[in-house]
Structure 1
Amino acid sequence: MSLYRIGVDVGGTNTDAVVLDVRARDTPHRGVLASHKAPTTPDITSGIEAAIRAVLQESAIDQRRVLSVTIGTTHFINALVEADTRRLDRVAVVRLCGAFTRQIPPFSDFPAGLRGILDGGAYYLDGGFEIDGREIAPLDESQIRRTAREINAAGVRTVALVGIFSPLDYEGKQEETCRKILLEEEPGLRIVCSHDIGPTGLLERENATILNAAILRTGQRVKHGFQRAMARLGLACPLYLSQNDGTLIDADTAAAFPIKTFASGPTNSMTGAAFLAGIDHGKREGMGAETESENTVQPQVIVVDIGGTTTDVCALLPSGFPRQAPGFVDVGGVRTAFSMPEVLSIGLGGGSIVQVDPETAEVTIGPSSVGHAIQQEAKIFGGTTLTTSDIVVALGKATLGDAALITDIPESVVDGAQKRIKKMLEGVVEKMKVSTAPVHVLLVGGGALLVTSDLDGVDKCIQPIHQGAANAVGAAIAKVSGDIDIVEMLEGKDEKAVVDAARQKAIDIAVAKGAARGDVRVVEVNKMPLQYMHQGAMRIQIRAVGPLAVPTELTPPPSPPLPCSDETEEGEAEEDIAKPQTASTQSSTSVDLGTYRPQVKSGVWYVSEVDLELIATGCGILGTGGGGPTHHEYLKALHVLRNGGQGKMRVVSPKSLNDDDVICFGSWYGSPSVINERIAGGTEIANGINAVNKILGNKSFHGIMLDEIGGGNGMSAFPTSVHFDVPIVDGDAMGRAYPTMYHATFSVYGHSLVPCVLSDARGNTSVVMSTDSDIRLEKILRTTAIELGLACAVCANPLPGSAIKSHGVPNTLSQAWYLGRAVHMAQRKKINLVDAIFDVCPGKLLFTGKIIDVRRHVGGGYTMGSVLIAPLSEDEREHSSTRVQPITSDSHMIIPFQNEYLYAALSDSNGSDESQKVVCTVPDLISILGQDGEAIGSQDLRYGLRVNVIALPAHPLWKTEKGLAVGGPAGFGLEMPFVGAGSEFSEARSVIEEFGV
């Protein structure tokens, strides 16, 4: 007999529902018995109930044989985006961190309005782990109980519990133990553990945990509302909600982790389209990351969902799930780290407005649309607005409305609009492609009729049945996942055995969640060697998925729903709903950068919030792929500036130094993967400077200079300068980022780096008094850094002002400021970003293209690898014009990296060594920029990104025989001559000199 699943997808305008016969999935209609589209209601629940009731009536199925109902809803994310105080609670953040993380407090990058609603205080407790599994500090039960009482006394009932490296603590034992103690002391608390929410990257995981905690009460209300609706419908089956990543969770789990359902809508559409098209079978299912590279003939499947106003496009992975967005996802102005599909949207739909320029006769489409008023506004329905639907009818490709009403549309307009639609679709599909493999496009949505001819670059275009209900079908067929994220020490172990054991764990987790064991498949295996780690440390991430198991016995009809007035949303007291806020960390949005002037008085630049934001962007460009991300360091500096740093955070010119002034150094040393999780305590650099000055007998010093301007280290001195109330010298010891201490210009030209100190937030201080070479110093420092957890401060030998002036790279903070201002102004004015950069800094555009391959491995303690970039098509090049043209070639470009980018070479499509023609090498700066002009670090390179590769000339200190021996190709073991950027070096302008008049 037939068995059924019901899928529901709640959109902003409509709520779709389907009934699916799970035993008829292989039939031509894919088991879809009925579908219905109902208006989305303000309370969400009644619209869902109406849609389900309609499909039950239409299909006339035996409701006792319904196995499950799965709902995808926008209810939870709306509460956050709208900053709805009726649906949000204050959250206390408890960090298990020992001495660490205080340099970036919780809520640091929340929008001001949302922070005011949610901030319930921060508590720093003993606990947390190192990346290799060692405890930072054991839990202190008395401390935990005291904290529970303090939270309760503050009137806060919801807690976000965040432990350092808790995602790598299998089953989250430390967080769970702390949670248990908190609840023993205060049973009424609602607690969310971060290991259940996201991967490593403490601040972003914590932000997501806070948001999840804030809507827990709402999650429970919504769950009860859904359950009451099912009872009214006579459905006794389990209730599930669909997650962002295309899998499902039961209603109780969804109520506990509502954040995991935020972006389920696009995912439902994509997976539903694949199912309806019948491509969810065969080789694609179960093919994981380990085999993907071996099956290069597999087509790329791209789903194109055309609605009334927009077209949403997503690529399906071999696993059958949508490709996930990289890095961090912004939710309501908050930077978070959790899995969401990568969706590109363009303003093209069935209701898009077609316009003709009266002077040039150029036809343009959208982004404006008549939307749901199409039957009143479009010409084929008697309206006066020319839409894309009118164009399709005029072409004879559709039978909508009355074709007699559009006979007056000029043929040239119809032809121009058809070509424009085609070009828009081809462009967005091209952006989603990640390789040269054949492309199969799945067309779904009510606007799919806009595709009237073959698309260039697309091998096959498929319009599946029931395409208008793809989103609800995706919810109905959603699978269960089991995920593993662990660090294993492989020394003395068989790697295959370790990975196989982890694969089995992931399968067992999926089965425990309700998957059918025999149908569970591992779809993703990621193995990442860890930097600087001995014992062959490797991070292993595995995902297993499978369909829900069919129960052996069907559930009986439900009892009548019980009244539950305290859980309903009706009748709540109305409160003001705060308007959505822009992120409070983006200070530049409130000023006119064209007229903004930094504050410079008497030769001193007093740094503002706007200055910090601009410098952070510039440091990314000067990082040449390394130096670590700038966001955390920017937040650290911003926090200090806002909390007593005004007037103390200042910069002076190296020209102002006396020859005998003592200038200290201090920056971060270790692995970015640790630094971004085990956030600094804030005392590390200051302790290191104090230690080195104590050794040397310096009673005082006169300023701080950066080791490297590139990446996050370019901002590391700002908090320390306020701590000591000394200025930062406008310059650094590299003029860019480099991977080792001996890449400092001072080391190159004979200035000693010792004594050199490593220090951490726990008070551990290690001093290297002398070495036979700076290369030896680097090896000693690296060994000590491993013991200190791969994240510490390094403070080299202070130098006199005379050395700073003779062998430092001057004005690089100013250079970062000018670069950042150029990028931010270009973003606002919508002008060419590359041109804007070269207006303030000489350089050369080496290549414009799309990343098609990234290879990484760990060697010598560094992240090494290469990135391969393909040229853009002719159509794409039209939109990439710039005054400074790249090398005209259809070649690809390969860029090897050792943390930083080492050289750029034109190559064949495989990047083979024999095909390479080197166009630029170190020490000149090679930077890869995204479409927004922001630099992309080597750790953030990924398939599909469209990028510009630029080169900037290095300081002349690097062009001498001594400089090239260390910072040029030979210094990295490359047997090739130095190839410059092709631009003459020009000393960076000084903010102090320009704005000090």
Structure 2
Amino acid sequence: MAYRIGVDVGGTNTDAAILDLKALDEPGRGVLASWKATTTPDITSGVEAAIKEVLDQSKVEKSRILSVTIGTTHFINSLIEADARRLDRVAVFRLCGPFTRQIPPFSDFPLGLRGILDGGVHYLDGGLEMDGREIAPLNPQQIQEAAKSVVASGINAIALVGVFSPLDHHGIHEEECRRIILEAAPGLRVVCSHDIGPTGLLERENATILNAAILRTGEKVKHSFKRAMASLKLTCPLFLSQNDGTLIDVETAAKYPIKTFASGPTNSMTGAAFLAGLDNKRSISNDGDDTVEPQVLVVDIGGTTTDVCALLPSGFPRQAPGFVEIGGVRTAFSMPEVVSMGLGGGSKVEIEDDGKVRVGPGSVGHFLKKQAKIFGGSTLTATDVVVALGEAELGDASLVKDVPDQTISLARQEIKRKLERVIDQMKVSSAPVHVLLVGGGALLVKDGLEGVDKCIHPIHQGAANAVGAAIAKISGEVDTVEILEGKSEKDILDAACKRAIDQAIEKGASPDDVRIVEVNKMPLQYMSQVTVRIQVRAVGKLAIPDEPTPPPTPPLGEIPDYEEEGEGDEDEGEKVSVPNALEPTTKPSLHVDLETYRPDVRDGIWYVSEIDLELISTGCGVLGTGGGGPTHYEFLKGLHALRTGGQGKMRIISPKSLDDNAQVFFGSWYGSPSVINERLSSGNEIPSGIEASSRIVGKSIDAVLPDEIGGGNGLSSFPTGVHFDIPIVDGDAMGRAYPTMYHVTFSVYGHSLVPCVLTDARNNVNVVMSTDSPERLETMLRTSAIELGLSCAACSAPLPGSVVKEYGIPNSLSLTWYLGRAIHQARRRKTSYIDAIFAECAGKVLFSGKIVDVKRYLGGGYTMGSVIIAPLNNEERDAATASKHQAASTGRHMTIPFQNEYLYAALTDAQGSEESQEIVCTVPDLISILGQDGEAIGSQDLRYGLHVSVIALPAHPLWKSEKGIKVGGPEGFGFKIPVVEVDKKFTESRSVIDEFST
């Protein structure tokens, strides 16, 4: 016989459950006993008491316990609460050579949290290119000196981050550097980033910093749990549950506590699926068609909030795409995608002046039994509503007899509507939907929900989180980038799968049970050779030994214990609160009245503020039309330049003020976003290119103009202006984003882009002096960029002010500012951001709907593909912020092909077939997809389930000529389709300088 114990330590309650592994297929799902107790301040006694209770209830011999698994919120609470007692300062070691300096560590940390954690940065030789070449070899003496400097400053924790370290299967650079550090300073705690997250240096570094900051707390918690085991005389292995619902041994968890941050919600989700028996009957539909695989959503209704998560066929929660914010910090590691809303058993029911009934988000919380009407209180709650309807037996139903029937009925409808809306938001396909209801507030749902085929109340639902911990499996994961040239894709996938399986077995999974549950392939754009990112996950049940064995001894050389056994439960004293702990540093407009805010314009010059940069960043996203790269990194670079470059240096001038003979220079980022987001720039690339261009043509550097206003490149000129102390011209050379250099208006109208300079952070300078065509220039630049690592700056030939005024797009920086302000204001007012956008520029809503399919593939070095968007139903339209510009409903879908940027929009059937297409807009007009907060969604961020609006803005007239259409229209992208213009007339943007000039 073998048993497993699961424990979930929450902020309020500690739950425990014991399972018989031989009875998992029986109706009771093997749950022998469960227990819920109040979480104790010292953790240990609460865990110990909960385990003791389920052992006593089940009367199981301790020698037959296979494992104990604990899920805890202790680590994440340290960060969310910014508890300085539990957080340590962290020094960051970057193995980067000359790169990454333009965005220092902690750049996007909240103000107070940075004050607690920031231990400085050491830029060291090392790091890799994407193809595995060394940026620079490690310098042992340099590393030793940095380690000694850290010790001298009193810092004990280091976050070690090497460029492209996740691509190194063994983390050789980081591991060797770690070895050198510990030889020079044995007492330091060192966390290597390749153990924490995938590529995307800033987000991986942020997660590594957070992990390093709570290592001391990790050790304390580990000792607490181990002492509870010793006190109970349990000799079985001790595990903690991870964010993805799998196990990590307690020693490893103490090294990587960040991997347990989201274990609470994950335990509830996986426990609910198990208790409902979905692992035994994955294919069940409402009509008895066993060939249809239902999509399963877990709805966890508490006292204040409802959490909803979609389960994959593997039984694990769907993971959140992109970055995840923890305590206001952007991180990139595996976390379940959970949507929360303010609805729970304690939600307050309030009647509006117009007679409408609102349920939540206000709640009586854990005071339900004091404040709810059925318990003698004065507050009408959601629980009162279901009791009044006879759907639940709780409290004294006679105490709600005086509540009008209409109020009860309307409140019931509102509860259903809110649940149906959030459930629809989490759907992952058009397959039948089964909902698992868990949590104390699950009594709010008794009858059916619209769009849900089956509502399931699992047994032991109150212990779902502890059961989820008890049944957790062992996982092995591989996340790598592979070049397919000359290799078999099948062989590469097979090798990755084998590595994942071997990892799981090495961690303790049963070799007979391990299977691959997830394989993702993502082609990388602009690469010289066909390159894909491969993510593989294998999971298996914990192996059952023939005889119980004691926990393994931690290997030599691992992070040592930094306190004696017995110290883990020492009184930490009163919490040390930091008043501005989670105050964002990257949202300067947060506490500014945008209605009255005026940009600083003096004598015809716009002096850019942090608030202006934030608004411009949002506007650049809208004009990015799906491409141009994310704006976040360039926004951070601009903030850093503004904060360190002195007052009055970042400034914008009107193109009208340019002298005809003034020399206007260009500089933008060129290469693959996959590299640019990992091998961050040093900051000298664009200035070096402009200086080289100036020397070649023998012209002074009078001003700089953005190449493209869309996406991140729209912001790339700001640090350049600060560097040279020159103005940025209010305009650009595209009026949007486009994928190639020759998509600038100056090239379209016959002005040469050569000599064109390509530079990198190592002072490599490549010059194309002349070409026979603009297309040839692009080919030559692309070839050179490969040698430079696909992350460099391109600086085309300067042009005189007269040409810029004739063939540039004027006032486009102003337009981004106005668009950004409009979106931020609408967000605050809770009004339509679409109406706000169209108050600033001409445009039209093409479609509103929900993404139901995304396809991606490589073509010509670019990420190409298409997205299909389904229409919203009437209720969903009403739920969204109403817009007077809403597109008429036709019942059809919309498909949008993209080559980085969105190329055309067409009404289609549900499959997006070409035969059904009715094209409603094409390039060169601007097609943008906006999320529910008004922020633009790039083609790299499209995913199923997002509710979006598709808008079209008319392109500048320079693109509507025969020359402009040939390059920037459908023909320029290989489509044999006519140009379809949005039926709105282009209106030139207002000028911030003209409007706000003093």
TM range (shorter): over 0.9
CA deviation profile, 1:34-64 (whole Å, cap 9, x unmatched): 1111112223332222222221221121111
1:368 aligns with 2:369: no
Which of 391, 407, 422 is 2:401 aligned to?
Answer: 407
Q: Is residue 353–residue 386 contact of structure 1 (8 Å, CA) maintained in 2?
A: yes
Q: Is residue 532–residue 786 contact of structure 1 (8 Å, CA) maintained in 2?
A: no
Q: Which residue number corresponds to residue 93 of structure 1?
A: 92
Separation of aligned partners in 1, 2:455 and 2:641: 55
Q: How does 1:381-400 map to 2 (within 5 A)?
A: 381-400=375-394
In structure 2, what residue type is equivalent to 1:339? S
Q: Secondary structure at the match of 2:68?
A: strand
Q: Is residue 92–residue 156 contact of structure 1 (8 Å, CA) maintained in 2?
A: yes
Q: Which moved more, 1:519-528 or 1:161-170?
A: 519-528
CA deviation profile, 1:644-687 (whole Å, cap 9, x unmatched): 24211100000001111100000000111110000001110011
Q: CA deviation at 1:136?
A: 1.0
Q: Which residue number corresponds to residue 723 of structure 1?
A: 723
Q: Secondary structure at the match of 1:776?
A: helix
Q: Is residue 223–residue 565 contact of structure 2 (8 Å, CA) maintained in 1?
A: no
Q: Which residue number corresponds to residue 978 of structure 1?
A: 979
Q: Which residue number corresponds to residue 710 of structure 2?
A: 710
Q: How does 1:229-378 map to 2 (within 5 A)?
A: 229-281=228-280, 297-357=292-352, 359-378=353-372
Separation of aligned partners in 2, 1:122 and 1:296: 56
Q: Is residue 235–residue 557 contact of structure 1 (8 Å, CA) maintained in 2?
A: no
Structure 1 stretches of 5 or more lacking a match? 286-294
Q: Which residue number corresponds to residue 654 of structure 1?
A: 655
Separation of aligned partners in 1, 2:108 and 2:996: 30
Q: Is residue 22–residue 31 contact of structure 1 (8 Å, CA) maintained in 2?
A: yes
Separation of aligned partners in 2, 1:558 and 1:972: 60
In structure 1, what residue type is equivalent to 2:338? V
1:481 aligns with 2:480: no
Q: CA deviation at 1:349?
A: 1.6
Q: Secondary structure at the match of 1:115?
A: helix
Q: Secondary structure at the match of 2:589?
A: helix
Which of 400, 412, 420 is 1:426 aligned to?
Answer: 420
In structure 2, what residue type is equivalent to 1:84? D
Separation of aligned partners in 1, 2:718 and 2:468: 50
Q: How does 1:382-531 map to 2 (within 5 A)?
A: 382-531=376-525
Q: Is residue 284–residue 320 contact of structure 1 (8 Å, CA) maintained in 2?
A: no
Q: CA deviation at 1:79?
A: 1.1
Separation of aligned partners in 1, 2:181 and 2:496: 31
Q: CA deviation at 1:284?
A: 7.5
Q: CA deviation at 1:829?
A: 1.4
CA deviation profile, 1:382-428 (whole Å, cap 9, x unmatched): 33322222222222222212223333232222222222221111111
Separation of aligned partners in 2, 1:508 and 1:282: 28
Q: Which residue number corresponds to residue 291 of structure 1?
A: none
Q: CA deviation at 1:913?
A: 0.5
CA deviation profile, 1:758-785 (whole Å, cap 9, x unmatched): 1000111111000000011001111111
Q: CA deviation at 1:809?
A: 0.2
Q: Secondary structure at the match of 1:690?
A: helix
Count how many residue pairs are aligned between Structure 1 and Structure 2: 983
Separation of aligned partners in 2, 1:371 and 1:748: 63
Q: CA deviation at 1:353?
A: 1.9
Q: Is residue 64–residue 556 contact of structure 1 (8 Å, CA) maintained in 2?
A: no
In structure 2, what residue type is equivalent to 1:837? I
Q: How does 1:458-857 map to 2 (within 5 A)?
A: 458-555=452-549, 564=564, 567-572=567-572, 574=574, 576-579=576-579, 580-698=581-699, 700-857=700-857
The TM-score, its normalising length taken from structure 1, stands at 0.97
Q: Which moved more, 1:187-196 or 1:822-831?
A: 822-831
Pair 1:297–1:646, CA change in 2 (3 A):
farther
Pair 1:819–1:169, CA change in 2 (3 A):
same
Pair 1:924–1:850, CA change in 2 (3 A):
same
Separation of aligned partners in 2, 1:459 and 1:282: 16
In structure 2, what residue type is equivalent to 1:530? L
Separation of aligned partners in 2, 1:707 and 1:690: 17
Q: Secondary structure at the match of 1:226?
A: helix
Q: Is residue 90–residue 119 contact of structure 1 (8 Å, CA) maintained in 2?
A: yes
CA deviation profile, 1:688-732 (whole Å, cap 9, x unmatched): 11111111122x221000100000000001111111111000000
1:40 aligns with 2:59: no
Q: Which residue number corresponds to residue 110 of structure 2?
A: 111
Q: Which residue number corresponds to residue 373 of structure 2?
A: 379
Q: CA deviation at 1:564?
A: 4.5
1:52 aligns with 2:51: yes
Q: CA deviation at 1:536?
A: 2.8
Separation of aligned partners in 1, 2:489 and 2:35: 51
Q: Is residue 871–residue 889 contact of structure 2 (8 Å, CA) maintained in 1?
A: no
Separation of aligned partners in 2, 1:494 and 1:862: 21
Q: Which moved more, 1:404-413 or 1:619-628?
A: 404-413
Q: Secondary structure at the match of 2:170?
A: helix
Q: CA deviation at 1:558?
A: 13
Q: Secondary structure at the match of 1:826?
A: helix
Pair 1:556–1:789, CA change in 2 (3 A):
closer
Q: Is residue 43–residue 224 contact of structure 2 (8 Å, CA) maintained in 1?
A: no
Q: Which residue number corresponds to residue 894 of structure 1?
A: 895
In structure 1, what residue type is equivalent to 2:434? H
Q: Is residue 231–residue 558 contact of structure 1 (8 Å, CA) maintained in 2?
A: no
Q: Which moved more, 1:786-795 or 1:881-890?
A: 881-890
Q: Which residue number corresponds to residue 292 of structure 1?
A: none
CA deviation profile, 1:625-649 (whole Å, cap 9, x unmatched): 0000000001011011101242111
Pair 1:572–1:396, CA change in 2 (3 A):
closer
Q: How does 1:920-935 map to 2 (within 5 A)?
A: 920-935=921-936
Q: Secondary structure at the match of 1:297?
A: coil
Q: Is residue 527–residue 672 contact of structure 2 (8 Å, CA) maintained in 1?
A: no
Q: Secondary structure at the match of 1:171?
A: coil
Pair 1:284–1:673, CA change in 2 (3 A):
farther
Q: CA deviation at 1:113?
A: 1.2
Separation of aligned partners in 2, 1:532 and 1:379: 63
In structure 1, what residue type is equivalent to 2:857? H
Q: Which residue number corresponds to residue 869 of structure 2?
A: 869
In structure 2, what residue type is equivalent to 1:447? G
Q: Which residue number corresponds to residue 289 of structure 1?
A: none
> Identity of paired residues, percent?
69
Separation of aligned partners in 1, 2:2 and 2:842: 68
Q: Secondary structure at the match of 1:36?
A: strand
Q: Which moved more, 1:427-436 or 1:372-381?
A: 372-381
Q: Secondary structure at the match of 1:642?
A: helix
In structure 2, what residue type is equivalent to 1:210? I
Q: Is residue 234–residue 557 contact of structure 1 (8 Å, CA) maintained in 2?
A: no
1:958 aligns with 2:954: no
Q: CA deviation at 1:274?
A: 0.5
Q: Which residue number corresponds to residue 175 of structure 2?
A: 176
Q: Is residue 64–residue 557 contact of structure 1 (8 Å, CA) maintained in 2?
A: no
Separation of aligned partners in 1, 2:237 and 2:486: 46
Q: Is residue 708–residue 738 contact of structure 2 (8 Å, CA) maintained in 1?
A: yes
Separation of aligned partners in 2, 1:214 and 1:563: 16
Q: Secondary structure at the match of 1:589?
A: coil
Separation of aligned partners in 2, 1:784 and 1:565: 58
Q: Secondary structure at the match of 2:582?
A: coil
